[in-house]
Amino acid sequence: MKFNKSILATGIATGLLCVQFNVNAQAVEDSSELSTETNDVEVIEVRGGIRGSIINSQNLKRSAQGVVDAITSEDLGKFTDDNIGAAIARIPGVQIQRNDNGIGGDRASIRGMGPLFVSTTVNGRTPLSHGDEGIGNIRQFNLDVIPTEIISGVVVRKMPTAATIEGGIGGSVELQTMEPLKAHSLYKNNDNFGGVVTVSAINDSLTEDWSSKFSGVFGARNDDNTLAGYVAIVTSDADYSVDEAYTRAQERDIQIDTDGDGVADRVEEDVISHSRITLNAIRGSKERQSVSYGLEWQANDDLKFGINGYTSSYDVYSQRPTVDLFFDYNGVFDEDAISIENNFVQSIDGSGVTNPGGDFKVENFDLLFDNLSENNVIGFNVEYGAYSDFSLKADISYSSVEFVQDLRLGIMGAYGLDPTDFRFDGTGDVPSFTYGSEVNDPDSYVSVGFFGRDRRGNNEQLALKLDAEWVLDDGIKIKAGVRQADTEIDVRETGRFTLIWDDPDLAAASFTGDLTEPLFPGSGIEFNQFLEPDYDAQAAVYPEIFNERASSSAINGSLLNADDSTGLPLDKANSFVVEEKTTAFYVQADMEGDIGDKLFTANMGVRAVATDRTVYGFQTTRVVNSLN
């Protein structure tokens, strides 16, 4: 089935009108260096790695239109950040949504505007993202796929302008790789070849393992520095450990006994209560291989050609022993057996419940979770007239991301447990749990079944951008440009739950009686160890089920004609193709002048965006027999 989700008419589209005024506490007579007069321009090029990096950052902030922060290569080198998101987190007004559990990504918010409203570019190009597990929030860029070593600088613009690529109404994060013709710090003694190699290792106190990293950058240029290129390489392998506790809550009516006769005297309505509590012992590894590259040719004083890009492979694997607790609220609670504050359950004492009803149960499984993301951006650009009154830039780029997820787990369950043994206290820094001894007795469990899922995302974008700039008299600069982008998002999910109920062979293979290592050591969580299932032993009992994968035709074939007759079947509700064509045009005026003895800068402009989007997917249809 084919849907035209939305078509924004070419003439109407989106308009952005921006007017900004910045006043600097700097005397006009001291600001002559900022003059836009270009009849007699003296170009001063600052060389030297650290000092040049700092000066470039200062100049960028001073001359920028709007509120701008910058991270230089010197800033990036001060810390052992694993990815660019950790470095950006130090900028005032920028918040990073961290990806500790491997499901989403490190994403940037600017001054309270979430990642959906923040655009991310690499050398002015929009890289694609795999979002949450390849299927959700795909427009939010995952910064953790990019190591700091392949980035030479970051510019964070905290307010949009008409020239900002669409999607960045909350601001933008602009990542920059090295410019080969300006990479003077690579070369010593005026050599034409140079490089830097770094080998490091970090010890993690939680995993007690060493993680190694290799990074290097190598460059070459000709004698007159009109042709230069470089390659930067990063490879790392790190183990990681995360202890996780969280609840899924829902609204319930809770009956409370105030006089001790076991009969409800009061009903608290629509109380947010913990219906399912999960403990995860996440232990895994993160492997990364990244390459950044660039080649520039200064053909003459006015004309420069360049090609640059990066490719990054990021593999996050984890094995996650997990326990899920399900507690039913159908009984009558003694008044001191439950604490409710602000309409939210704070603590529970299961021994104070009359006629609990329902089912107090625990499900235990060993979850194998593997996410592989491969990201690429490459572009060719031409720049004319960089130091003249009129300049022109053209850029054509290709961006892609391929995401592969393999998730599988064998589920065991303990049912009909005694709810009087359960305690929950969520008033501390870490929630505390108490269970009965049955929870860690292998004989309490029966086999439930197996769930396996294969997910693939293949996303591509081809974009063309053209920007022009005119420097006029009286401190006025006119910018105009157009951008065309064709994007295709192809997401496929296959999966199956296979019921294997109360199979004694599977139950015997699942547990050896071993417990997980302690979770949240020293935090007083009480129940901080639980039975650890053995996935490999489970798979040995039912290899044809536990090792089943999706067929190539389901993953790679035409979506609407996908053949899933073998292997894991296609999950049609979570499989779709999006084709999007975007055309944007902008014009913007940058102005600077003086009011009294103060310098002011301002800009105003308009951006029009036309989007044509087509989505291919599936609609569930229910057929009802009214006679039966």
pLDDT digits (tens, 9 = 90+) for 203-228: 777 667 788 889 999 999 999 999 99
How far, in Å, are 33, 44, 584 from residue 608 at the CA level?
34, 37, 6
Say yes or no to pLDDT of 473 above 50.
Answer: yes
Alpha carbons 461 and 126: distance in angstroms, whole number:
9
Query: Would you place residue 61 in the very low, low, confident or very high pLDDT band (cuts 50, 70, 90)?
Result: low
Say yes or no to pLDDT of 78 above 70.
Answer: no
Ordered alpha helix ranges (H), 289-360: none
Closest CA relative to residue 174, chosen from 126, 114, 213: 126
pLDDT digits (tens, 9 = 90+) for 355-370: 887 778 999 999 999 9
> Which of 91-100, 106-115, 487-496 bottoms out in mean pLDDT, i.e. has the lowest?
91-100
What number of CA atoms fall less than 13 Å from residue 317's CA on the CB side?
Answer: 8
First and final C-alpha spacing in the chain: 30
Say yes or no to pLDDT of 105 above 80.
Answer: no
How far, in Å, are 178, 238, 278, 610 from residue 202 at the CA level?
26, 9, 30, 48
How far, in Å, are 16, 212, 300, 469 from residue 394 at the CA level?
23, 40, 17, 12
Query: Would you place residue 73 in the very low, low, confident or very high pLDDT band (cuts 50, 70, 90)?
Result: low
Helix (H) or strand (E) holding 373: strand 361-384
Alpha carbons 286 and 316: distance in angstroms, whole number:
5
Pairing of strands 476-499, 576-595: antiparallel
Query: Would you place residue 611 in the very low, low, confident or very high pLDDT band (cuts 50, 70, 90)?
Result: very high
Helix (H) or strand (E) holding 316: strand 303-326
Alpha carbons 417 and 436: distance in angstroms, whole number:
8
Helix (H) or strand (E) holding 53: helix 49-63
Helix (H) or strand (E) holding 575: none
Say yes or no to pLDDT of 24 above 50.
Answer: no
The pTM is what? 0.81
pLDDT digits (tens, 9 = 90+) for 250-307: 899 999 999 999 999 999 999 999 888 899 999 999 999 999 999 999 999 999 999 9
Query: Which tokens go with 279?
Result: 């403990």
Alpha carbons 596 and 46: distance in angstroms, whole number:
32
Q: Write the CB contacts of 72 (distance below 8 Å, at least 6 apart in sequence).
A: 53, 54, 56, 57, 153
In a 3-state reduction of DSSP, which class is residue 562? coil
Q: Any idea which residue has 């700039």 for tokens?
A: 469
Dihedrals phi, psi of 603, to nearest 5 degrees: -150, 155
Q: Which letter, b or e, does each residue of 599-613 get, where b requires 16 or more Cβ atoms within 10 Å of its Cβ?
A: bebbbbbebbbbbbb
Alpha carbons 376 and 122: distance in angstroms, whole number:
11
